[in-house]
Chain A
Amino acid sequence: MNVQVKAIRLFQWSIHAWLILFLISALPAADVLWSYAVSPPAKGAFSLAPLLGEGPVWWVVLLLVVGISFRNLLRPVRWWSAALIWCGYVTLMDRAWMAGSGGQQLMANILFWNIPLSLLDGGPAHRRILGMAAFWIIRLQLVLVYFVTGVHKLFGTYWPDGTALGILAYDPDLGLSWLAGKPLLAQALTYLVLALQFLIPVAVWSRRTRVPVLVAGSLFHLATALWMGIPEMGLAFIACYAIWLSDQEVDRLTRPITWARPPRW
């Protein structure tokens, strides 16, 4: 039940970088997302959205989340900073739920577990118990997604018969028109996606297959970011992949960018 200290630091750095990038990328639509929200009120249990009303107060929430995320990029994550970010993030997400995605949902869950994960820096036993549980829950949450979506697809018709991506190729809302008229390629890619979704939850457990399968997963998510209109979702998954790395793999990955390492790595 070992935890990987450097992997946790890289993971926390990645999810805060994702948060900053996502919120900055949302700024051109900030009025319809938050300050004059198009989405009807949502009922998230721990969201402050219903209390905040409309107007510039949303910019305060936005600045708070971005500001604390910058703090967490540069300094060790404390439980209170993780809790503030999670609360601010779910408030923003609930307010703009019509623009939501699985990636945003994934990050809401990950940011919640990042609170106990930040207790893992020593101290009394209960802190280490919670931190250790959070570490494994985040790891399992990530691979659970692939397994669950794979099972859902097996219950359909067009994924098992290989025609799913061939159908999506003709959807003008997506960017898959390059697949149109290539049924064999579309069928091969449909089965490849399905295989990857069942392979990732298995292959991450072995040291030999972990990095190759995470690279394949990253390519898959970059493709969905590029062609499926869900850029923040693809990048959210890639940001979370760091939690599955070993400390040695983190060293190998970050050696070329030592200037960018936070001081405690």
Chain B
Amino acid sequence: MDGPLRTGHRVVVIALIAMHVSFVLLYTLPARIVPLQVRSLAIAYCRPLFHQQWLLFAPDPPLCSAELVVIDLDGTRHQLPVHHHYLEERIARTLAFHLHGAAAAGDTALPPELEQPIRRYWYARHDDAPAAVALIEECATDVAHPERREERVTEFDLVGP
């Protein structure tokens, strides 16, 4: 690191930093405060290489916790994840999050893009076939009393092979 940069080089450095940081800010800040055309530019710049999302329980924490259960042909219920490894738990949480969306949309058949990962996860840990999947949610109905939770169970048929 041989001494300070020349003024012209310094200007280039500042321009590079300003451009990158501005685009990342426009890409990650809430969409409602970023004009659509500017945001489109930021998406084109960030999505391929610099994708990131910084919600972290924002704008609000979820009011429902979700548990994913696979029901086998005998009717036995198996909780996912099978192993309590933190990354397997996260896979189960991601699947439950997407199932929550399907349940909210009124689906009773598992969408294929969710059925495939659930089957793959199941077969990686079990030999027998799954018959159905259930999403068990416990939802706070009154935020003034978050301890009061209502259980919602949504069952999905597995339609694929």
**Docked-complex contact A39 and B117, CB < 8 angstroms:** yes
A61 proximal to B (CB < 8 A): no
**Docked-complex contact A122 and B95, CB < 8 angstroms:** no
**Docked-complex contact B65 and A171, CB < 8 angstroms:** yes
Number of interface residues of B (CB under 8 A): 63
A125 proximal to B (CB < 8 A): yes
Q: Identify the closest chain B residue to A27 (Cβ).
A: B85
Given contacts A99-B90, A136-B13, A159-B60, contact A122 B1 (CB under 8 A): yes
B149 proximal to A (CB < 8 A): yes
**Docked-complex contact B94 and A99, CB < 8 angstroms:** yes
Per the bound structure, the CA–CA distance linking A151 and B31 in Å amounts to 11
Interface string of B59-82 (1 = CB under 8 A from A): 111110110000000000000000
B160 proximal to A (CB < 8 A): no
Find chain A residues with CB under 8 A from B1 CB. 3, 5, 120-122, 128
Residues of A in contact with B, size category: 35 or more
Q: Identify the closest chain A residue to B50 (Cβ).
A: A109
Per the bound structure, the CA–CA distance linking A101 and B91 in Å amounts to 11
A153 proximal to B (CB < 8 A): yes
Known: A1-B4, A40-B116, A133-B20. 5 other contacts (CB 8 A): A45-B48, A99-B87, A144-B25, A156-B60, A173-B65
Spell out B's residues near A (CB within 8 Å): 1-2, 4-6, 9-10, 12-13, 16-17, 20-21, 24-25, 28-30, 32-33, 47-63, 65-66, 83, 85-91, 93-95, 113, 116-117, 120-121, 124-125, 138, 140, 143, 146-147, 149
The 8 closest A-B pairs by CB, nearest first: A156-B59, A152-B58, A45-B48, A156-B60, A133-B16, A99-B87, A153-B58, A149-B54
